[in-house]
Amino acid sequence: MRDYNVAVVGATGAVGSETVRMLDMRNFPIRSIKLLASGRSAGKTMPFRGRDVVIEELKETSFEGVEIAFFGAGSGVSKQFAAHAVKAGALIIDKTSAFRMLADVPLVIPEINGTEIARHKGIVSSPNCVAVVLTMAIYPILKRYPIKRLVVSSYQATSGAGAKAARELLNQTKAFLAGEPLPREVFKHQIAFNLFSHDSPIYDNGYNDEENKVIEETRKILSLPELPIAVTCVRVPIVRAHSVSINYESDRPVDLDEVRALLGAANGVKVVDDRVNNHFPMPIECSEKDEVLVGRLRTDLSNPNGIELFASGDQLLKGAALNAVQIAEYAVGNGIIKG
């Protein structure tokens, strides 16, 4: 296998810095790496494989010679610059919402629909981080238990809103404990010792932007365009890793032992379901881990065809950086990027 010229757009951010770390940790075959961010970061350095790489300001001309470009600097930046990277011949792996719902852009979780990558026209999108945790948790049981309806609630970490938002929780917590006024830069509402409905705009249908993304993207990833889904997205005072509570309605009675076995055999999923010790998925136990934890398995007492599940996953890794690097690995390993 040969080495590739890679660029990371938004390299200084929450997702971008994890993408750089994943490329290193997973020994992605790299000939050269370009770290791109805003003018604010230009000239600073980030370590990569034993040397300091100078961060460059993102420009239209940044992609000459680049073969794989990871975008994670916001959807506006992706919309403005991805076309230049495609024109330069790079495969774009985009972690923003910019292109996810376009018909000719595959929306990919390699464990679920990796084969979609082959139909790319220059851009492959990595899904919304809640949609990733949710679909990873239910995909293993889908074939055996056809799905009729999903009801989902999320418990989302502050780092899901970026590096500054993650720091805001820590700074507010310190200020709260010191009896000082709480610093407020990113979130409208206090996040320390509080929670609130997701901090994204509300659409005419009453659902916020995040909830609409979860609905639309889940349908696209699972190729179930009509799937009925109800979602409530909530921001909670946790720095890292999103959780979801899932009510999964099938068309037949559910055998919990079989569900547990299907989940246990799935790639990228780990069952944490210990009733005796009251030990179920928790954000702290999946932080900086690859697997999505799934458990709290119960038959829905109000519906014999229903299962209740709870899942936690590191939204910076499987929800973004790891998933993106896995897309690149799939593309390289399956000859989708020319060797």
Ligand X SMILES: NC(=O)c1ccc[n+]([C@@H]2O[C@H](COP(=O)([O-])OP(=O)(O)OC[C@H]3O[C@@H](n4cnc5c(N)ncnc54)[C@H](OP(=O)(O)O)[C@@H]3O)[C@@H](O)[C@H]2O)c1
Residues at the site binding ligand X, with contacts judged by CB under 6 A = 10-16, 37-38, 40-41, 58, 72-75, 77, 95-96, 129, 159-160, 162-164, 315-316, 319-320
Q: How far is the CB of 213 from ligand X (least distance, A)?
A: 9
189 given a catalytic annotation: no
**Phi, psi of 176, rounded to the nearest 5 degrees:** -60, -45
Q: Name beta bridge partners: 4.
A: 30
Q: How far is the CB of 126 from ligand X (least distance, A)?
A: 7
Structure tokens belonging to residue 9: 């757009």
129 given a catalytic annotation: yes
Q: How far is the CB of 44 from ligand X (least distance, A)?
A: 8
To 5 degrees, how large is the angle CA 94–CA 96–CA 102? 75
From CA 51, how far away is CA 189, in angstroms rounded? 41
Q: At what angle do helices 129-142 and 256-264 cross, to 10 degrees?
A: 120
Residues whose CB falls within 8 Å of the CB of residue 220, separated by 6 or more in sequence, listed in order: 100, 101, 107
Based on CB atoms, which residue is closest to ligand X, 95 or 270? Answer: 95
In the bound state, the residue with its beta carbon closest to ligand X is 13
Q: How far apart, in Å, are the Cα atoms of 215 and each of 13, 60, 153, 274?
A: 26, 33, 12, 30
Based on CB atoms, which residue is closest to ligand X, 118 or 284? Answer: 284
The active-site residue, picked from 120, 198, 233, 242, is 242
The active-site residue, picked from 120, 129, 233, 286, is 129
Q: Are 294 and 271 in contact (CB under 8 A)?
A: yes
Q: How far is the CB of 107 from ligand X (least distance, A)?
A: 13
Q: What is the largest CA-CA distance in the chain?
A: 60
Q: How far is the CB of 116 from ligand X (least distance, A)?
A: 18
Based on CB atoms, which residue is closest to ligand X, 77 or 254? Answer: 77
The catalytic residues are 129, 242
